[in-house]
């Protein structure tokens, strides 16, 4: 393995429905050719959604981005050949089919790597802004911190009412601004 190179995340495009087969084929390729030093990780981002069928609710996993597999590797022409020759792979995402590495912000947003945030970065009463997820752009005050799960409970104003929501540390950023006092809730 070239010692001066760090593995980077790249995006592979696959045929529709071939994502799991491509991942399995690449894992076998890594094992059979001792490529573990070059291809470090493979991921198919999934999300949990609730589906209702025949009146019953069920939690199912769904592909976040169909037709894409994320691969963390050290790029060489030989590795490029191995990967693009895998059945189901149409190519890398990048100019002329050559891989373009993802930047740190894209990796964080896709949650390809577990990012641990220093729990001492936040304290109770801090004003934070939500930087990612469905509550992006909201401001709130921290009410509870859980360092083991890397989650915080914040109080934010939604539709004129204070609402407590749970967010992950990686989704929030401390801000210096003070929140205005929330309106008193009517009974």
- pLDDT above 60: residue 181: no
- Among 23-27, 37-41, 122-126, which is the least confidently predicted range? 122-126
Q: What is the pLDDT of residue 92?
A: 93
148: three-class secondary structure by DSSP:
coil
Q: List the structure tokens of 132.
A: 């990612």
**Mean pLDDT within 20-24:** 96
Backbone angles phi, psi at 140, to 5 degrees: -160, 170
Residue 9 — φ and ψ, nearest 5°?
A: -85, 135
The CATH number given to 119-174 is 2.30.30.30
Residue 13 to residues 22, 136, 160, Cα–Cα distance (Å)? 10, 28, 44
Contact predicate 130/174, CB 8 Å: no
Confidence of residue 186 (pLDDT cuts 50, 70, 90): very low
Judge whether residue 1 has pLDDT over 70: no
Rounded to an integer, what distance in angstroms lies between the CA atom of residue 184 and that of residue 143?
18
Q: What is the pLDDT of residue 27?
A: 96
Where do the structural domains in the chain lie, given as residue ranges? 8-110, 119-174
Q: What is the pLDDT of residues 37-48, one digit of tens each?
A: 999 999 998 877
Structure tokens at 176: 């210096």
pLDDT category at 56 given cuts 50, 70, 90 is confident
Tokens 């967010």 found at:
167
pTM of the model: 0.66
Fold type of domain 8-110: Alpha-Beta Plaits (3.30.70)
Q: If you average pLDDT over each of 47-56, 68-77, 114-123, 178-187, which comes out highest?
A: 68-77
pLDDT at residue 148 greater than cutoff 70: yes
pLDDT tens-digit profile of 74-119? 999 999 999 999 999 999 998 887 789 998 878 877 878 766 777 7
């Amino acid at each position: 393995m070239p010692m001066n190179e760090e593995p980077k995340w790249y995006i592979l495009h696959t045929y529709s429905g071939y994502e799991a087969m491509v991942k399995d084929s690449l894992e076998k390729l890594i094992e059979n050719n001792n490529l573990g030093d070059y291809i470090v990780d493979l991921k198919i981002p999934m999300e949990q959604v609730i589906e209702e069928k025949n009146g019953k609710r069920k939690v199912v996993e769904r592909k976040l981005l169909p037709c894409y597999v994320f691969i963390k590797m050290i790029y060489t022409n030989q590795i490029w050949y191995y990967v693009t020759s895998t059945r189901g792979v149409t190519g890398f995402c990048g100019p002329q089919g050559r891989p373009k590495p993802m930047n740190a912000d894209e990796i964080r947003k896709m949650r390809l790597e577990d990012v641990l945030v220093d729990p001492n970065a936040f304290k109770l009463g801090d004003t934070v802004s939500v930087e990612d997820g469905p509550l992006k752009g909201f401001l709130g005050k921290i009410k509870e911190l859980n360092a083991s799960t890397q989650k915080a409970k914040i109080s934010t104003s939604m539709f004129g009412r204070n609402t407590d929501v749970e967010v992950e540390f990686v989704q929030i950023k401390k801000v210096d601004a003070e929140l205005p006092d929330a309106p008193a809730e009517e009974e």
